[in-house]
Amino acid sequence: MKTISWGRGLRTAALFFVLALTLTGCGLKQSEDSAETDTTTEGTGTTTDPSTSTSTGTDLTTIAPASVETTLTTHLALATNAAKVWKANAELVYVSVEIPASLAQDSGNEVYVFGSPDDATNWWTYSLSQSTDKFVRAIIPKEDYLGADITPINTQYWKMNYVEAFQLAEANGGAAFRTTNPGSAATLYLSQRAPRGWLWWTAEYVAPSGEQFTLLINPNLGEVVDESGNEVAPSIDSTSTDTTSTGTSDTLTN
């Protein structure tokens, strides 16, 4: 599997900028309107389990991850159903969620990316504004976004939503980075990637200065590592076996 280049902040920032302009300025219909057409045609060290939180705050660092699960499940279903209209065999390959510097709930954008064996050239994307529920569907050439060689997401091991992953990142250096770099924003990416070819949430913090801080969170076990695969925090269930890659299973014995 080809490793995705995670140092492509300009590409990702450009995509989010275009999506933000489109979502806020074009007056699209709400996501429940099934008659909407595509915008582009062929012619998103600490091992405490955040999911146990009972906070009712609206800051993404304190809300209970379970409180957004129903909404996120609905968003994924909308994106998947729309992708199946594009190609019946469409598969989810990538998810990203933008978290602005305010960390306010329902203030970012979600992007769901799908591929199909029937289209070797393009990705199909479904981009949703959390604040308005407006969405944009677009076909983007693979060479312009993400590259061509990405393994479809093994959803069997997607057991952690982006809020829970973000809170683990915060507890293991993310919060300290934001304190040192006021105004920092973050984006979380879900994909099969190195290390191990596993499914990971990649939490990428970017300061106004351009400085970055990145952690990877395994959405099946809760393990936190750096980009080289060095353990930052052990898995929440350290005796579990992860088989999120397409190869041989690895057993964690932390």
Report the distance separating Cα 168 and Cα 170, nearest Å.
5
pLDDT in single tens digits along all 254 residues of the chain: 333 444 444 344 445 444 443 443 433 333 334 333 344 433 335 555 554 444 446 799 999 999 999 999 999 999 999 999 999 999 999 999 999 999 999 999 999 999 999 999 999 999 999 999 999 999 999 999 999 989 999 999 999 999 999 999 999 999 999 999 999 999 999 999 999 999 999 999 999 999 999 999 999 999 999 999 999 999 986 444 544 454 433 433 22
* Structural domain contains residue 1: no
**What's the N-to-C CA distance of the chain in angstroms?**
26
Q: In sequence order, what are the beta bridge partners of 115?
A: 91
Q: Whole-angstrom Cα distance, residue 207 to residue 174?
A: 11
Residue 46 confidence (pLDDT)? 52
pLDDT given for residue 185 in this prediction:
98
Rounded CA-CA distance 209/202 in Å is: 20
Number of H helices, E strands in the chain: 4, 11
96 in any annotated domain: yes
For residue 214, tell me if it sits in a domain.
Answer: yes
Assigned domain for 3 exists? no
pTM exceeds 0.85 for this model: no
Identify whether 2 is part of a domain.
Answer: no
pLDDT of residue 39: 42
Tell me what pLDDT residue 159 has. 97
Task: Please tell me the total count of domains within the chain.
Answer: 1
Give CA–CA dist 128/72, Å, rounded.
11
With beta carbons less than 8 A apart as the criterion, state whether 205 and 223 touch: no
Please give the pLDDT value at position 121.
Answer: 97
Look at residue 222 and tell me if it is in a domain: yes
Give the SS3 label for residue 215. strand
Whether 225 and 195 have beta carbons less than 8 Å apart is answered as yes
Residue ranges making up the domain that contains 198: 9-251
